Chains A and B, each alone.
Chain A
């Protein structure tokens, strides 16, 4: 495994080693303090015992000066220093001293018991003890330095196995962390070896609890992707399907032009071919519109638009088609209904709705377009008295190519998909209901006012 600083492996290793070092340091410090304390106790006891022993011996022995006490027999035995004093007629006389002790009085000679002081540039521990009966006094002293050395040695002895163990620990941790990260690596491997179109959920027999949310989120995402992809595939298949029939009609009509024996038949077939071309054109335009708005999601350039004016334009464009089939097309809208929409898309929505109504209404029928402005929303309603759609089939209306009409007047089945998408882009919704005179179809498009603008235009 290549070691990168920004990896879980490196982080865990660094954190564990850091924690071990910190913990180890604390342990060594504590053990030094403890050792020092114990050493003090021990050496104090030793000092006291030595003092008392000396006093006992000297009180019953000859008056003499002890010579050099010889080489030290143990490294901790170091250089105890002592003086034994005798009071004679009020004067203290040095009776006995160790070779490293001075002939003059040591400091704190008169303090009974333990005490510490500087002497000769070092810190010493003193113990003074008096035998009043024999008028004797002993002072025993020892450098602190030795106690500290002892404590340091003890601490160091404790540190040593730890210092040796740390690299070993790191070595073992390497394997432990790798083992711990195994599920993560398996997941990464699974993902890396996936073909781009394989979107089924990721399977991990028994995922560790830390990975479960990741896995769940990934699988949710994969599911959404799969849905989107299937939608696209279905759309492509549907589009191919919807393009084939008009193409077949076009080709067949043009072949009829070649086959027909009379001029009248040839003319009629040519005219029908032209109708086939305009149907194809309409279909391709609708497909392009849909592709354009399907791609457009977030950045919707809204601007304050007068919906009533836009509707008037659309109804004007479609008025001649309606008039040609003797359909009465009526628009009922307040003078001005401003709303923040993408103006081109709103026109596409309105054109598709009105065009649908005019297409599917029989000659001599009626199409009504209403626009209502309320506080929170604007409602556009397009209703006709055409054949209508049974309520149980209305759910299919918004689907692409979900054309409901058994012998339809050349609709391509995309209009309401486009309407639905545009409404969705504006945060609105599309509802289907009955049309006019208890027949036909009524489509309501509800577009909400953006928060903040309601106050400005609501009153």
Chain B
């Protein structure tokens, strides 16, 4: 799942990007408010991890601008500021969660998943589409109750399609779910992984709409 990390501290931003990648996200990382605004305007992110003390444009200003533009993306504020009024103004401005540094990476990932789940209107963490069940937190998939082993790339594509069930995702959108900006995708990665998923979860699980993209039915 593609998320945006906005953090000016080099060591922390680097660790957040690496850690969240290992925890099943496809994170992009920017280091100031202006760059974050540009990234959010260009790409569709499932969630944003936002620091408040940012150069050029503060986190709160960015959030305000985001909400003024009717962007509903879930935003988790990750900051060193622990004063109550900072938390209140964060929520008032439109944050969905507020976490004071330092934070446990797994907890951060769990919070992000909960935010994304709520953002897509689901209450239970597991996503069910037909015979297939997916647990985003545990990174596990079941077919008719039996565990199926999937690679990280397969998991990322399954997650993207299942959490957007009923909607068509383009190949570019699936590529973005696989990688952030950093790694270049090989041209046929999406096709290869879709092929593997069909083999493991059933030929009808993923529909192909020629020239448009892929879809999982609700």
| Chain A residues at the B interface, C-beta cutoff of 8 Å | 237, 240-242, 244-253, 255-256, 259-261, 265, 269, 272, 275-276, 279, 406-407, 410
Beta-carbon contact of A248 and B19 below 8 Å? no
**Are A249's CB and B8's CB within 8 A?**
no
| In the bound complex, CA of A240 to CA of B81 (Å) | 9
Hey, which chain B residues are within 8 Å of A261, CB to CB? Answer: 22
10 smallest CB-CB distances across A and B, nearest first, come from: A406-B55, A252-B15, A248-B102, A244-B80, A249-B12, A248-B101, A249-B11, A259-B22, A244-B101, A253-B15
Chain B residues with CB under 8 Å of A269's CB are 15, 18
Q: Known contacts A241-B81, A244-B100, A247-B101; is A256 also within 8 Å of B22 by CB?
A: yes
A276 / chain B contacts, CB cutoff of 8 Å: 11
Would A244 and B102 be within 8 Å (CB), given that A260-B18, A407-B31 are in contact? yes
A interface, over-half SS = helix
- Least Cβ–Cβ distance between B78 and chain A, in angstroms: 8
A-contact 0/1 string along B1-34, CB 8 Å cutoff: 0000000111110111011001100000001100
Question: Closest Cβ of chain A: how far from B13's Cβ, in Å?
Answer: 8
7 A-B Cβ contacts within 8 A?
A: A240-B82, A247-B102, A248-B78, A248-B103, A250-B102, A253-B15, A259-B105
Residue from A241, A265, A275 in contact with B11 in the complex, judged by beta carbons closer than 8 Å? A275
B104 interface hit (Cβ, 8 Å): yes
Report the contact-size class of chain B (Cβ under 8 Å from the partner).
20 to 34
| Set of chain B residues within 8 Å of A248, measured between Cβ atoms | 9, 12, 78, 80, 101-103
Beta-carbon contact of B11 and A406 below 8 Å: no
Q: Is the CB of B80 within 8 A of A242?
A: yes
In the assembled complex, the Cα of A241 lies from the Cα of B81 at a distance in Å of 6
* Given A272-B14, A275-B11, CB of A407 within 8 Å of CB of B80: no
Asked if B83 is an interface residue, CB under 8 A from chain A, the answer is yes
List the A side residues contacting B11 at CB < 8 Å.
246, 249-250, 253, 272, 275-276, 279
The answer to whether B15 and A256 touch across the interface, beta carbons within 8 angstroms, is: yes
Q: Is the CB of B56 within 8 A of A241?
A: no
Among B23, B80, B103, which residue has its beta carbon within 8 angstroms of that of A259?
B23
Distance between A325 CB and nearest chain B CB, rounded to angstroms? 16
Given contact pairs A240-B80, A252-B15, A256-B15, enumerate 8 new A-B contacts (beta carbons under 8 Å).
Answer: A240-B82, A242-B80, A245-B80, A248-B12, A252-B19, A253-B11, A259-B105, A406-B31
A244 partner residues in chain B, CB cutoff 8 A? 80, 82, 100-102
Which residues of B pack against A, CB within 8 Å? 8-12, 14-16, 18-19, 22-23, 31-32, 53, 55-56, 78, 80-83, 100-106
Q: Which residues of B contact A410 (CB under 8 A)?
A: 10
Establish whether residues A251 and B104, one from each chain, have CB atoms under 8 Å apart when the complex forms. Answer: yes
- Chain A residue with Cβ nearest B15: A252
Min Cβ gap A250→B in Å is 8
Which chain A residues border B31 with CB–CB below 8 Å?
406-407
B15 contact set on A, CB distance < 8 A: 249, 252-253, 255-256, 269, 272
Contacts of B12 in A (CB 8 A): 245-246, 248-249, 252
Distance between Cα atoms of A247 and B23 in the complex (Å): 21
In the complex, chain A residues whose CB is within 8 Å of the CB of B19: 252, 255-256, 259
Q: How far is the CA of A245 from the CA of B19 in the complex (A)?
A: 16
Is the beta-carbon distance between A406 and B103 smaller than 8 angstroms?
Answer: no
Q: Looking across the interface, which residue of chain B has its beta carbon closest to that of A254?
A: B15
Q: How far is the CB of A249 from chain B (nearest CB, A)?
A: 4
CB-CB < 8 A to A246: which residues of B?
9, 11-12
Which residues of chain A are near B16, meaning CB under 8 Å?
252
Question: Within the assembled complex, what's the spacing in Å between the Cα atoms of A407 and B100?
Answer: 21
| Contact between chains at B105 and A255 (CB < 8 Å) | yes
Q: Smallest Cβ distance from A374 to chain B, in angstroms?
A: 39
Q: Assuming A245-B9, A246-B11, A275-B11, is B18 touching A256 (CB within 8 A)?
A: yes
Residues on A with C-beta less than 8 A from B82 are 240, 244
Of the candidates A253, A261, A269, the one having the most CB atoms from chain B within 10 angstroms of its own CB is: A253
Closest residue of B by beta carbon distance from A241: B80
In the complex, A261→B21 CA distance in Å? Answer: 11
What is the CA–CA distance of A69 and B100 in the complex, to the nearest angstrom? 121
B56 A245 Cβ-Cβ under 8 A: no
Which residues of A have CB within 8 Å of B22?
256, 259-261
A276 and B23 CA atoms in complex are apart in Å by: 22
Q: Are B10 and A407 in contact (CB under 8 A)?
A: yes
CA A438 to CA B150, docked complex, whole Å? 59
Docked CA distance A145–B136 (Å): 127
Q: How far is it, in angstroms, between the C-alpha of A237 and the C-alpha of B100 when the chains are bound?
A: 14
Q: How far does the alpha carbon of A260 sit from the alpha carbon of B16 in the complex, in Å?
A: 12
Q: Which residues of A contact B18 (CB under 8 A)?
A: 256, 259-260, 265, 269
For the complex formed, measure the closest distance between the CB of A284 and the CB atoms of chain B, giving whole angstroms. Answer: 16
Q: How far is the CA of A328 from the CA of B104 in the complex (A)?
A: 42
Determine which residue in B14, B80, B83, B106 has the highest number of CB atoms from chain A within 10 A of its CB, and name it. B80
CB closest chain-A residue, reference B19:
A256
A46, B60: Cα distance in complex, Å: 112
Nearest CB in chain A: distance from B76 CB, A? 14
Chain A's nearest CB lies how many Å from the CB of B94?
Answer: 23
Q: Which residue of A lies closest to B100 (CB)?
A: A244
Q: Which residues of B contact A253 (CB under 8 A)?
A: 11, 14-15
Contacts A249-B12, A252-B12, A276-B11; A237 near B83 (Cβ below 8 A): yes
Nearest CB on A from B161, distance (A): 24
A276–B15 alpha-carbon span in the complex (Å): 11
Chain A residues with CB under 8 Å of B53's CB are 241
Expressed in whole angstroms, the minimum distance between the Cβ of B81 and any Cβ of chain A is 6
Give every chain A residue within 8 A of B23 (Cβ-Cβ): 259
A240–B31 Cα gap in the complex (Å)?
A: 22
Most B Cβ at <10 Å: residue of A251, A255, A275, A410 = A255
Residues of B with C-beta under 8 A to A255: 15, 19, 104-106
B8 A407 Cβ-Cβ under 8 A: yes
**B-side contacts of A272, CB under 8 Å:** 11, 14-15
